[in-house]
Structure 1
Amino acid sequence: MRGALWRLFYRASLGDHAYQFLFRPGPADEVVSLDCETTGLDPKRDDIVAVAAVLIRGNRILTSSRFEALVRPDEAQPGAESIKVHRLRQRDVADAQPMRRVLPGLLRFIGGRPLVGYYIDFDVRMLDKYTMDLFEAKLPNRQIEVSALYYDRKYRDAPPGSTFDLRFASILADLGIPMLEAHDALNDAIMAGMAYLALRDMTSRGARIQRERFRGAPPPPTGA
Structure 2
Amino acid sequence: MSWPPETPNEQVRFVVLDSETTGLDPRKDRIVTIGAIAIVNNEILLEDSFEAMVKVAYNSSAVTVHGVTREQSLAGLDEREALEKFLTYLGDGVIVGHHISHDVETFNAGYERHFGFRLQNSSLDTMDLTLHLERDGAFAGRDPIQQFSLDALCTLFGIIPHDRHTAAGDAFMTALVFQRLLRLAAKHGRTSLARLTEPFVP
CA distance in structure 2 between the aligned counterparts of 1:223 and 1:34, rounded to whole angstroms: 20
Q: Any conservation in 2 of the 1:83–1:89 contact (CA below 8 Å)?
A: yes
CA distance in structure 1 between the aligned counterparts of 2:73 and 2:105, rounded to whole angstroms: 21
Give 2:107's match in structure 1, choosing from 112, 119, 127.
Answer: 127
Structure 2 residue 13 is the aligned partner of structure 1 residue 30: yes
Number of the residue aligned with 2:64:
83
Q: Deviations over 1:186-209 (max 9, x none)?
A: 1111111111121121121139xx
Which one-letter code corresponds to 1:25 in the other structure? S
CA distance in structure 1 between the aligned counterparts of 2:24 and 2:2, rounded to whole angstroms: 30
Number of the residue aligned with 2:51:
68
Q: Any conservation in 1 of the 2:133–2:184 contact (CA below 8 Å)?
A: yes
Residues 30-69 of structure 1 aligned to structure 2 (within 5 Å): 30-69=13-52
Quote the offset at 1:103 in angstroms: 1.2
Which one-letter code corresponds to 1:57 in the other structure? V
Which one-letter code corresponds to 1:144 in the other structure? L
Q: Which has the higher relative contact order, 1 or 2, with Cα contacts under 8 A spaced 6 or more apart?
A: 2
Residues 140-155 of structure 1 aligned to structure 2 (within 5 Å): 140-154=120-134
Quote the offset at 1:146 in angstroms: 0.4
Residues 174-213 of structure 1 aligned to structure 2 (within 5 Å): 174-206=156-188
Gaps (5+ residues) in structure 2? 190-198
Quote the offset at 1:155 in angstroms: 5.3
Q: Any conservation in 2 of the 1:55–1:61 contact (CA below 8 Å)?
A: yes
Number of the residue aligned with 1:97:
77
CA distance in structure 2 between the aligned counterparts of 1:91 and 1:223, rounded to whole angstroms: 41
Counting aligned pairs with the same residue, the percent is: 25
Q: Any conservation in 2 of the 1:146–1:223 contact (CA below 8 Å)?
A: no
Quote the offset at 1:135 in angstroms: 2.7
CA distance in structure 1 between the aligned counterparts of 2:108 and 2:82, rounded to whole angstroms: 14
Number of the residue aligned with 1:218:
none
Number of the residue aligned with 2:149:
167
TM-score (normalised: structure 1): 0.73
Q: Deviations over 1:94-121 (max 9, x none)?
A: 1111110111111011011110001111
Note closer, same or farther for the CA distance 1:144–1:71 as it changes in structure 2 (3 Å cut).
same
> How many residue pairs end up in the alignment?
181
Quote the offset at 1:125 in angstroms: 0.8
SS at match of 2:173: helix
Number of the residue aligned with 2:192:
none
Q: Any conservation in 1 of the 2:32–2:73 contact (CA below 8 Å)?
A: yes
Give 1:109's match in structure 2, choosing from 71, 89, 114.
Answer: 89
CA distance in structure 2 between the aligned counterparts of 1:88 and 1:201, rounded to whole angstroms: 35
Gaps (5+ residues) in structure 1? 1-23, 208-221
Structure 1 or 2, whichever has the larger Rg, is 1
